[in-house]
Amino acid sequence: MNPFKYGTIVSGKDFCGRKSLLKQIIGYIESSQNIVILGERRVGKSSTLYEAFLKCKTGRLLYVDLLGIKSIDALCRRILRAIVVLEQKTAWFDKIVKTLSYLRPSISVDPITSMPTVSFDASVEMKANSIPGVFTLIESLGKKRRLVVVFDEFQDILNLEDSHEALSLLRSKIQFQSGIPYIFVGSIRHKMDEIFTHHDSPFFKSAIPLTVEPLPYEEFSEFLKKKFATGQRKIDDEVLEKVFEIANEIPGDIQQLCEALWEISSEKEIISLDKLKNALELIFAREQKSYETYISLLTNIQLRCLMAIAKEGGKSVFSASFMKPAGFNNPSSVRRAITRLIKLNILFESGGEYRFINPFFRAWLPYKG
């Protein structure tokens, strides 16, 4: 069985390294300190946090994913659903259902798992004034047994029309719950900064920031080699170095490429550099449709700009040496193209450099063109 996992939370034997970061997070959880976990996409934020929680061996986790929320109603529903999931095996279940009676919860039993499930009346729209009640419920859960609350993809709260009001209400409740550690996880850097470091944000300096960096080569490459060895495969260091380079050192992307290398190789094989091409082709074949969709959304100018970044990198896109070969005469047209490419979630900006969100799309572009 292919031992490489990507796109999911990894823990236990699938989790590599990060000893000192885990220790730090565990310390903060144990002292009920609120923290914010930052890092690039697919670097391992959720996994690190989950692994730290497992190692604490204490309390329960209320995990709320805010990915894509667009309203306060959705925010409250996500939290309530997480609470119901957490409590469905306990005697508290009835009490919660009573507390939420204004949402007309209806209980049914899942025929497969025999677990009770709850659905709420969709016609009741929760507004800002529901937020305090929802957080009082969290508080009472915390009194019963030790609780750790996680808001993953927290930056998406800025999508709400009334995000400032929502954040103020959250903050005013959370600051009095000193026995419950709140952990905010997020990846779109400037948005998380807007929430935690802007003076006028209700969450200004309200949590200790921790950054999840890519795993160091020595540690992660050993881990990956052992995984290859479980299927009697050996991989050369020069191949792994190239894998790290193509994936920009992002652990999730490294594992995705290793998964493909495993698929196109067989037992007792020594995986050498020439296999990389086949592995990439496998990934391209799987992802081609979405690449083509992206391309269809671009104007010629935007595509030219993207091709140039794929080829030259995105460090000095306003220099003559970048613009001229790409056919641009002035920086403002490059800027316009890049703004659009960021909006489409094709590129992101990191420390003044424009990079591809999906490194395999970057690898595919020149290959294709």
Ligand X SMILES: Nc1ncnc2c1ncn2[C@@H]1O[C@H](COP(=O)(O)OP(=O)(O)OP(=O)(O)O)[C@@H](O)[C@H]1O
Write the binding mask 19 to 48 for ligand X: x where contact by CB under 6 A, - elsewhere. Answer: --------------------x-xxxxxxx-
User: End-to-end distance of the chain based on CA atoms, in angstroms?
Assistant: 35
Taking the least distance from each CB to Mg ion, the nearer of 46 and 255 is: 46
What's the chain's length in residues?
Answer: 369
Q: Which is nearer to Mg ion, 46 or 177 (CB)?
A: 46
| Closer by beta carbon to ligand X, 212 or else 305 | 212
CB 355 within 8 A of CB 189: no
Size of site (CB under 6 A) for ligand X: 22
Binder of residue 18, out of Mg ion, ligand X, none (CB less than 5 to 8 A by kind): ligand X
- H-run or E-run covering 269: none
Which of 140, 128, 210, 124 minimizes the C-alpha distance to 172? Answer: 128
Residue 125: other Cβ atoms inside 10 A: 11
φ, ψ of residue 217 in degrees (nearest 5): -55, -50
Would you count residue 322 as binding ligand X (CB under 6 A)? no
In the complex, the smallest distance separating the C-beta of residue 31 from Mg ion, rounded to whole angstroms, is: 24
Binding string, residues 44-83; x marks residues near ligand X by CB under 6 A:
xxxx------------------------------------
Q: Specify the amino acid at residue 203.
A: F
362 makes contact, choosing from Mg ion, ligand X, none, with CB < 5 to 8 Å by partner type, with none
Residues 172-191 that bind ligand X (CB under 6 A): 187
* Dihedral (CA of 309, 312, 315, 317) sign: negative
Q: Under rule CB under 6 A, which residues in 192-251 are in contact with ligand X? A: 251
Q: Which range touches ligand X (CB under 6 A), out of 8-16, 81-89, 276-284, 289-297?
A: 8-16
Q: What DSSP string runs through 104-173?
A: --EEEE-TTT--EEEE--TTSPP-GGGHHHHHHHHHHHHHHS-EEEEEETGGGGGGSTTHHHHHHHHHHH
Instruction: In whole angstroms, give the CA distance from residue 25 to residue 38.
Output: 13
Nearer to ligand X, 119 or 350 (CB): 350
Asked if 18 interacts with ligand X (CB under 6 A), we say yes
Could you tell me which stretch among 15-23, 95-103, 176-184, 344-352 binds ligand X (CB under 6 A)? Answer: 15-23
Least Cβ distance, residue 11 to ligand X (angstroms)? 9
- Which listed residue (34, 39, 44, 46) binds Mg ion by CB under 5 A? 46
> CA-CA distance, 148 to 182, in Å (whole number)?
6
Q: Which residues are at the interface with ligand X (CB under 6 A)?
A: 5-10, 15-18, 39, 41-47, 187, 251-252, 255
